[in-house]
Amino acid sequence: MHIHILGICGTFMAGIAQIAKQAGHEVTGSDLNVYPPMSTQLAAQGIQLFNGFDAQHIDSNVDCVIVGNVIKRGNPAMEYVLEKNLPYVSGPQWLAETILRDRWVLAVSGTHGKTTTTSLLAWILEYAQQAPGFLIGGVPENFGVSARIGKGPCFVIEADEYDSAFFDKRSKFIHYHPKTLILNNLEYDHADIFPDLEAIKQQFHYLVRTVPGNGLIIRNADDKNLQATLEKGCWTPVVTFGGKTGAWQAELLKADGSYFSVIHNGTKQGEVKWDLLGLHNVENALAAIAAAQHAGVEVEQAVEALPFFKNVKRRMEVKGEKAGITIYDDFAHHPTAIATTLAGLRAKIGDARLVVVLEFGSYTMRTGVHKDAIKDALGAADIVVCKRPEQDTWELEKILKSFTQPTSLFDNVEMLVERLKQQLKSGDHVVVMSNSGFEGIHQRLLNVIG
């Protein structure tokens, strides 16, 4: 079968492409932004890519066109598909009908921590020799790819609440029908498609409705929004993790979260020393252990796997160290994720100077939906440096002036890098936070310091 994918270089759609190729299909794809790392990852799998959305890129004899949720009406390739009456489907629906139907699906949902938790769960199953399939919204370094079809019965998927396609406004995760479901947390996000928190909670309720009675829901014990969602109706056993009441608990043996013990129903199961930081990652690990146990992995083996876990790219990834200055890349772009990530690093580095460079990349952050939470989210930073959003309609400069620590705001990356290099000194830890490439700022900083 020949499949053409519109919007192929998005992380999710690139994963679909890899899985389709591994399933034996001929795969081609189009996108506006054909560049590494996804372009090289796809090319290595023998997938032909076209830059742009020219209708000529689509073979008239194509068997199926998979449409990414970035594609809108008016896109020339999409208009060609409609006019020629070519078969088309959303990525989540194709995955559900073609790959997931006969698999044990373990889905990881929530506002924060999905990518890391999905990667942790896939790694634990891999360590237990279950050879799982997976589709992850990032590249876990244990695997080096974001997706694979797998050989075992289990398929681990990052279950995103974003919409499926322009013709299917349901959340992606509605299609997956998981047997094991992790509910990490639930906050307001994706203001471009959800009018309020209640609309997101409703989608999560629909997800809960799809989990069978012989499945398992694993939820954050302290999250009131998740509790309210489950109170709408739940037909599946639920276990909890984290907080003070969770069935799965952790005792931090080091404040930065790099050393902790795992406790289940009051009984210590083992200790973990690993490279990840922060209480949020410890709780991600608890959720992954609980899910893996449901899929047949002994807790002892899951605990044994964690020290060998390598983090996901762009999750506190060290991009380099020069002149005693360490540069990190982190994907966090929601106030809660920013705060927990910085808290973990602060616990590790102590009194060393922590510099945060922030780009407001997501629609929700760009439009100031979380503007009142930014100050507290950045409380652990000693210096805050921001790139001005393209449409700064919410007076970011005024908000930054209310900070107690030094702040600065720049209209472009060139000026930001030039000014920041004059401020940095040996011993500094610089965390670049953005959900985009941020114009290669990490390497540009490394090039000019020292």
Q: Which residue has the higher pLDDT, 91 or 440?
A: 91
Give 402-408 contacts, CB < 8 A, sequence gap 24+: 402/375, 403/375, 403/378, 405/378, 405/381, 406/382, 407/383, 408/384
- The token duo for 107 is 């889905």
The fraction of the chain above a pLDDT of 90, given in percent, is: 64
| Residue 284 near residue 117, CB atoms below 8 Å | yes
Can you give the pLDDT at residue 239?
Answer: 98
Summarised one tens digit per residue, pLDDT across range 19-50 is 999 999 999 999 997 766 677 778 888 999 99
Output the pTM of the full model. 0.86
Summarised one tens digit per residue, pLDDT across range 346-359 is 988 999 999 999 88
- The token duo for 53 is 């959305």
Q: What is the CATH number of domain 102-308?
A: 3.40.1190.10
| Residue 27 near residue 149, CB atoms below 8 Å | no
Can you give the pLDDT at residue 27?
Answer: 96
* Amino acid found at 226: L
What's the rounded Cα separation, in Å, for the pair 8 and 29?
Answer: 6
Can you give the pLDDT at residue 3?
Answer: 97
Q: What is the CATH number of domain 317-448?
A: 3.90.190.20
317 forms bridges with which residues in the sheet? 329
- Please state which of the ranges 81-95, 144-158, 206-220, 413-427 shows the lowest mean pLDDT: 413-427
The residue behind tokens 């209708």 is 55
Q: What is the CATH number of domain 2-89?
A: 3.40.50.720
Summarised one tens digit per residue, pLDDT across range 226-239 is 999 999 999 999 99
What's the rounded Cα separation, in Å, for the pair 443 and 432?
Answer: 11
3-state class (DSSP) for residue 54? coil
| Residue 116 near residue 312, CB atoms below 8 Å | yes
- The token duo for 424 is 């940095």
**What residues does each domain of the chain span?**
2-89, 102-308, 317-448
